[in-house]
Amino acid sequence: MSASLAEVAEDRHYGAKVTAVEPGGAEVIPLSERHGKPLQMLWTWTSPNMEFATIYVGVICVLFFGLSFWQSVAAIVLGNLLGSTAHMVLSTWGPESGFCQMVLSRRAFGFLGNLLPAGLNWLIAGVGWFAVNSVSGALALSALTNMNKYLALVIVVVLMLALAYFGHNLIQIFEKYAAPVLTVIFVVGGIVLLTKSHPSAAGAPIPGGFWIALGATFGYAAGWNPYASDYTRYLPPGSGRKAGIFAGLGVFISCTLLEVFGAAVVTAFGAAAFNFDSPNWAFANPTDAYTSLMPTWLGKLTLLGICLGAIAANALNVYSSALSFTATGIRLPTPTARGAVAVISGLAGFVVALVGLDHIDQYENFLLVIAYWIGPWLGVVFVDRILRRSRADELAYGDPSYKNWAGPIAMFVSAVISIWLFSNQTFYVGVIPQHAPAVGDLTFEVGFVLAAVLYAALYRALAQPIQVATPEQLAAATK
C-alpha cells in the first residue's frame, strides 16, 4: 500500500503544545503531530452546546410553533438524533485522512466547486453563529454583573477570539474543563425548571408546527456537521470509529437536554408570559427570564454557565470558520493564516452582534434556516463516499486542477428547488406550504434527498477520476 499524505507531511513542531499558536491553515496533520484520545470528542461536543442558543431552540418549539411539551420533546429527540448521527459519521473521517471537513469536501465538489460549501461555512460559522452566541453570552454576563451590555459583548468576544487564535490544542483543553462545569450547572438548573413546568399543558400547534420544529432541531445539531473532522484530524489513525461515537453522543446529549429544558421553561411561564415582544415583558433579556424561576444562587451560576457556554461554542465556530476559509485555496502571506482569518472573521461577527444586541427576536429566523444549505451538502458528500471508495493517498484533496462539478451543481439546484417549494419561514413561504400548510417545512429533508439523487446521476459524467498519488506526488501535495 502506498503512503498517505499524513505520512509524508513535514512536522510543523506543534504537536500537543497548548500555549503555542497553531501554524498553517487547512493542511494535512502529519502523523508525527497526532495526539489525543477519542474520548475527548465527548467534551469537545458537549461544552459548545451548553449555552442559551441551544435552550432557545426548545423555547421556540412551544413559543412560536405552539407544540405541547411532549410534542416538542418528540421533535427535539428525532431532530437531534438525525443531526448527531450525521456528525458521528463525518467525525470518523478525520483520523484516517488528517484533513479538516471542508478539505475533505473537495472530493465531492472539486477544488473550485468547493468554494460553495466552504465559503458558506466560513460566513455562517464565523459571522452568523459567532454573532448569535456572542449576543447570548454578553446578555448573560450583563444580567449577572449589571455590566453595560456593550462592554460585556467586548469582553466575551475578546475571550472567544483569544481561544480561536491559539487554535486546536488550547480549544480542546478549554472544552475539556468547561464540560463538567457546564453540565452540572445546566442539569441542576434544568431539573429545577422541570419541577416548575407544566408538561401536561395542551399545545396549540400552528399548521405543520411539528415538522418546522423538527427542521429547527435538526438544523441546530447539523449546524456542527461541517466542522466534524476539524476536531478529529489530530487523533491517531485507527481511532475514527470511537471518535465518531463520542462526537455524536456529545452533540445528541447536550442538545437534547438543553432544548427540553427550554421547552419546559415556556410551559412554566405560559407562552404569553414568555413572549419577550410583548409590552408586558418583565425581564431585562431572555437569559434573565430563563433563570428567574431558579433560586438566586443557581440563577447566577446558570448565567455564568450561559456566558461560559457561549465562549465554548464560539471558539469552535470561529476556528472552523477560519479553516473553511483556508480550505477555499486562498493563501495568505503569513505562517499563521488560520489564526489571522479567525480574528478577522470574529471581528466581522462582532459588528453583526453589535447590531443584533437589541434585536434578540431575530434568533428565530436564523435558527430555522441554518439547515437549508447543510442538507444538500450532506446529501452530496455522503453519496460520494458510498459510490467512490475513499483512500488516504488520493490527490483530490490538494490538487487545484481536480474537478467534480456534479457536487456544486447538485447542491445548488437542490437548495434552490427545496427552498422554492418547501420553505415555510417568515421571510418566504414556499409553493407547497402556501397551499398545504400542514406539511410544515420539509426543506432540509427534500434538499438532502434531491442532492443525493442528482449527484448519483451526474458524477459519472462530471467528476474526474480519483487519482492515487505516487510518492513524488504525495510529497509535492503537502507543500
Helix axes 443-462, 371-387, angle to 10 degrees: 40
24 in any annotated domain: no
Domain span at residue 277 reads 34-477
Q: Is the dihedral of CA 178, 183, 184, 186 positive or negative?
A: positive
Cell matching residue 66: 405552539
CB 212 within 8 A of CB 368: yes
223 in any annotated domain: yes
pLDDT of residue 272: 52
Q: Binning pLDDT at 50, 70 and 90, where does residue 271 land? A: low
Give yes or no for residue 2 having a pLDDT over 80: no
Q: Which of 75-84, 234-243, 395-404 has the lowest mean pLDDT?
A: 395-404
- pLDDT, mean of residues 95-117: 96
| Furthest CA-CA distance within the chain | 70
Question: Which residues are CB-contacts of 90 (< 8 A; sequence separation ≥ 6)?
Answer: 101, 225, 228, 229, 244, 381
* pLDDT tens-digit readout, 165-182: 999 999 999 999 999 999
pLDDT of residue 281: 41
CB 295 within 8 A of CB 223: no
Residue 412 burial by CB count (10 A; 0-12/13-18/19+): exposed, middle or buried? middle
Taking the C-alpha atoms of residue 221 and residue 49, their distance in angstroms, rounded to an integer, is: 9
pLDDT of residue 64: 86
Taking the C-alpha atoms of residue 198 and residue 202, their distance in angstroms, rounded to an integer, is: 9
Question: Which residues are CB-contacts of 56 (< 8 A; sequence separation ≥ 6)?
Answer: 136, 262, 286, 363, 367
Partners of 429 in the beta sheet?
424
190 in any annotated domain: yes
Taking the C-alpha atoms of residue 406 and residue 210, their distance in angstroms, rounded to an integer, is: 33
- Would you mind telling me the total number of residues written for the chain in this entry? 479
pLDDT of residue 15: 84
pLDDT of residue 367: 61
- CATH number reported for the structural domain that contains residue 138 in this entry: 1.10.4160.10
Taking the C-alpha atoms of residue 468 and residue 392, their distance in angstroms, rounded to an integer, is: 9
Q: Residue 23: enclosing H or E segment and its boundaries? A: none
* pLDDT tens-digit readout, 49-81: 998 889 989 988 998 899 999 999 999 999 999
pLDDT of residue 1: 33
Can you spell out the DSSP letters for 330-365?
A: ---SSTTHHHHHHHHHHHHHHHHHHHHTT-GGGHHH
27 in any annotated domain: no
Winning range, highest mean pLDDT, from 143-147, 365-369, 394-398: 143-147
Q: Which of 5-14, 39-48, 410-419 has the lowest mean pLDDT?
A: 5-14
Report the predicted TM-score, pTM, of the whole model to 2 decimal places.
Answer: 0.91
> Residue 199, Cβ neighbours under 10 Å: how many?
15
188 in any annotated domain: yes
**Any idea what DSSP says for residue 14?**
-
- pLDDT, mean of residues 81-106: 96
- pLDDT, mean of residues 247-264: 96
76 in any annotated domain: yes
Q: Could you give the 3-state DSSP secondary structure of residue 468?
A: strand
Taking the C-alpha atoms of residue 296 and residue 12, their distance in angstroms, rounded to an integer, is: 49
Arithmetic mean of pLDDT over the chain: 89
Task: Count how many domains the chain has.
Answer: 1
* pLDDT tens-digit readout, 279-326: 434 455 667 777 888 899 999 999 999 999 999 999 999 999 999 999
pLDDT of residue 87: 98
14 in any annotated domain: no
20 in any annotated domain: no
